Amino acid sequence: MSPDAATPESEAPERKHMSVRKHLLLDSSILIGFVAFYTFTLLNYQWLAPHPLPKVDLRSPKDTVVKVHIDNLRNKDNLLDVTLVLKPNEAIVNKKTGRLTTGTAVRFPLQDDMGEVTYDLDTAPEPKNTTIEARGEPRNWPLDTYTTDPIRAEWLVGAGDDRHYEAAKIEVDGSADGFDIDVARVEDSPNDVVITLKRTRAQRIFDIGICLVLITLPAVALFVAIQMVTRRRPFLPPFGTWYAAMLFAVVPLRNFLPGSPPTGAWIDQGLVIWVLLGLAAAMVIYIVAWYRDRV
């Protein structure tokens, strides 16, 4: 071989490195993009976050009003936790003490499970905690919607044999974390209301983000494992810990979803199980790459 013959090392093309200017431009673009996206998410939360219903003022009405204050929605139980506040008719209230001059009661004839709420003579009406059924399908998370039957209130008036129930107006305020609340009057009975709750857009966007993270885990794991088993990239033993960490991160991420969809919901059937299978397949491919590296 002549001394002028080119060696294999000299024939190998030199790798072109990114210039400092291009590197700085790329880093700056990534940083600016991250800051812009982060700012957008914060503004999005402020714009789309749920707002409580306007507070009901019970001082002005002269007629009987029953305020339903929404405290929370237990979506898995289809129950709406509420606080009932009675503003009785001025005719049965002592103007000096604010106490009832006669005992009364409030019932909800269209809700079989609410029973009757009683208020004793010579007492000030106190808030009462109860629940209202709000039917919906939690397994449809995050597109689940919950709706009550028409809520009608009647209060007990009169004395002796003349005691009877009369209609009372329903007013609604309060909030439920993560839900937008819509209160609609019943056309044939304007004193009655129907309450509808649906998840906010901000929460749905957050849910989509968590789902994208779950999808990314097996995609990245399979890509790296295939690169190793095909020997396009060298085998790296520390990646075993990385695969285990991703596998054990799936369940906490699933439980971190707002509203915590019930076990067996569509997200478990259509996403979580496939994420686990993808990560398990990536670990098997990784072990095959480890075995081939040791042979």
β-pair type (145-148, 116-119)? unpaired
Residue range 135-169, pLDDT digits in tens: 999 888 888 899 999 999 988 887 777 788 888 89
Beta bridge partners of 173: 69
Query: Under a CB-based contact definition with an 8 Å cutoff, are residues 69 and 81 in contact?
Result: no
> With a threshold of 0.85, does the pTM exceed it?
no
User: So what's the pLDDT on residue 14?
Assistant: 57
CA–CA dist 90, 63 (Å, integer): 7
Task: Please state, in angstroms and rounded to a whole number, the distance separating the CA atoms of residues 32 and 25.
Answer: 10
| Residue tagged 């106490």 (tokens) | 99
Alpha-carbon span 283 to 295, nearest angstrom: 19
Q: Taken in order 83, 89, 92, 93, is the CA torsion positive or negative?
A: positive
Predicted local confidence at residue 18, as pLDDT: 64
30 alpha carbon, distance to own chain's centre: 30
Helix (H/G/I), strand (E/B), else coil: 143? coil
The separation between the first and the last C-alpha atoms of the chain, rounded to the nearest angstrom, is 36
Structure tokens at 18: 């990114």
Q: What is the pLDDT of residue 177?
A: 86
Instruction: Tell me which residues of the chain have a pLDDT lower than 70.
Output: 1-18, 45-46, 48-50, 60-61, 295
